[in-house]
Amino acid sequence: MTSKTNEKHKSFRLSLDAWAVIVAFALALATRLDIFKKVPW
């Protein structure tokens, strides 16, 4: 990969914060669908 392609590739990488928000919302959606209903917390 050239440095320009590298730069472009890098700009599409999500930050840790963004990943955390995505995973948390995925968990929230799963909760909304009652997937965790029977989990013995």
Partner 1 sequence: MATSLSLPRVQSANPVPGVLRLVPGLALLVAIGYAGKVLERMVNTYTKTRHLTFPNIEYVLWAILIGLAISNILTIPKIFHAGIATYEFWLKIGIVLLGSRFVLGDVLKLGGVSLGLVVVEISLSLLLMTWLGRVFKLRPKLTTLLAVGSSICGVSAIIAAKGAIAADDEDSTFAIAAILALGALALFTFPVIGHSLHMNDTTYGLWAGLGVDNTAEATAAGALYSDSAGKLAALAKTTRNATIGFVVLAYALYWAKRGQASTVTNKAAFLWNKFPKFVLGFLGISLLVTFHTFSKDQVTALANLSRWAFLLTFAGVGLRTNFREMSKQGLRPFIVGALGEVLIAVLTLGLVLGAHRIWGI
Note whether 29 and 21 are within 8 A (CB).
Answer: no
Q: For binding to partner 1 (CB under 8 A), which residues are involved? A: 15-21, 23-25, 27-28, 31-32, 34, 36-37, 39, 41
When the beta carbons of 4 and 37 are compared against partner 1, the nearer one is 37
Measure CA of the first residue to CA of the last residue in the chain; give whole Å. Answer: 47
Considering the complex, what minimum distance in angstroms separates the CB of residue 23 from partner 1? 6
Considering the complex, what minimum distance in angstroms separates the CB of residue 28 from partner 1? 6
Q: What's the rounded Cα separation, in Å, for the pair 41 and 37?
A: 10
